[in-house]
Amino acid sequence: MFRALLLSLSLSLAAPIAVAQTVVPPGNVSAKQPKIPAGSVKRSRAKGYEAKYNKIRNLIARDSKLRSKIKKAASTFGIDPIHIVGALVGEHTYNVDAKDRLQSYYVKALAYLGQDLSFEHDGTSITQLVAQSAFAPCKSQRSSYPYWTCIENMWERSYRGKSIAGKRRPTARLGRVIFQPVYAGQPYSLGQRTPLPALKANDLVRSRISREPKLSVKKAPEIYNTIMEPDSTLNYMAAVIRHAIDTYRSIAGFDISRNPGLTATLYNLGNVSTRANRLRINNDKRKSQGKKPLPPRENYYGWLVNEKEADLRSIL
């Protein structure tokens, strides 16, 4: 069973080089927008999606400093800036409203540094949790993305909703249980990032930006400051998007670098390696049956980004 578990983990984390790569063109696969989740509908009931879209769209359009920062982050990680814009628009249209001014995010970022914050649940800290034997397979992962992806996978397989030593574990994902953001669990940064994705992307960011600090789960306020501060947030967004593009190219055999709706979808959903591997396995099966491969498909969030791509490019 342990060997099988390790094999399963390796399938989720490894990146086999695909023989061929199919370029995914711009635009949506779905003719109609996929169903919007109830949580997003509830959050947007008062203002409506169009008003929220216009708010973040206009913030980018009128703030030349923000546009410059977006382009700089995109250049650092070798991606088209439309991918960052798409993720910003998707997050602020369907989740928390954008602030009126970029400066508001800097103020909030500084506020986190003075707070007494920690990552724990029911008396168990994250360091105590990952030291348990169930997470032992993750110790061999030497960089932050595969390490924290492994931790997240092990939580799903061995802890989530299960009874351990007579104690029922929460049914929520790890990010909500231990890395739940302050203020009712909602992220409020420019990029709507939460601590766990930032921890994953830390080594990717540091590999290109030497001044970025090594994040430690023992210093929660610093992690919150990192995801709130606009300059670092944009770099983390770019790193996450770069990782998604590289992962889909190497694992699933699709080049999604020309489709901002797909990168926005993956930015929204997370678990990129698992999703790419699932698509590869499904298409390998289809190939063996003489069927055409299925392309990656955008969700409701990415669908809007592709639908609005021309408008979003106009503000860049």
pLDDT, position 116: 77
Cα distances (Å, whole numbers) of residue 130 to 48, 69, 158, 217, 240 = 41, 36, 12, 11, 23
For 61, 102, 104, 278, the CA distances from 64, given in Å and listed in that order, are 7, 11, 16, 40
Q: Is the pLDDT of residue 142 over 60?
A: yes
The full DSSP string for 158-181 is: IITT-EETTEEPPSS-HHHHTSPP
pLDDT confidence band for 215 (50 / 70 / 90) = very high
pLDDT digit string, tens, across residues 93-123: 997 765 545 556 545 655 666 677 888 888 8
Instruction: Compute the distance between CA of residue 14 and CA of residue 267 in angstroms, rounded to an integer.
Output: 19
Average pLDDT over residues 121-146: 93
> Rounded distance, CA 127 to CA 148, Å?
12
Mean pLDDT taken over the chain: 86
What pLDDT is recorded for position 249?
A: 97
Identify which of 309, 192, 316, 197 has the alpha carbon closest to the alpha carbon of residue 261: 309
Question: Which tens digits make up the pLDDT trace of 237-265?
Answer: 999 999 999 999 999 999 999 999 999 99
Residue 184 φ/ψ region, left for φ over 0, alpha for ψ in the -120 to 50 degree band, beta for the rest: left
Write the CA distances from 40 to 43, 57, 192, 293, 297, integer angstroms.
Answer: 5, 18, 14, 31, 20
The sign of the dihedral angle between the CA atoms of 158, 164, 170, 171 is: positive
pLDDT tens track for 6-31: 444 444 444 444 446 899 999 999 99
- Lowest-confidence range among 25-29, 36-40, 80-84, 226-230? 226-230
The H or E element containing residue 120 is: strand 120-121
Give the separation between CA 112 and CA 188, rounded to whole angstroms. Answer: 12
Q: What was the pLDDT predicted at 117?
A: 81
Residue 81 has pLDDT above 90, yes or no: yes
**pTM across the whole model:** 0.87
What CA–CA distance (Å, rounded) separates 303 from 316?
20
pLDDT confidence band for 193 (50 / 70 / 90) = confident
Mean pLDDT, residues 63-86: 97
Tell whether the model's pLDDT for residue 183 goes beyond 70. Answer: no
Residue 111 host element (H or E)? helix 103-112
pLDDT at 113: 64
What mean pLDDT is predicted for residues 293-309? 97
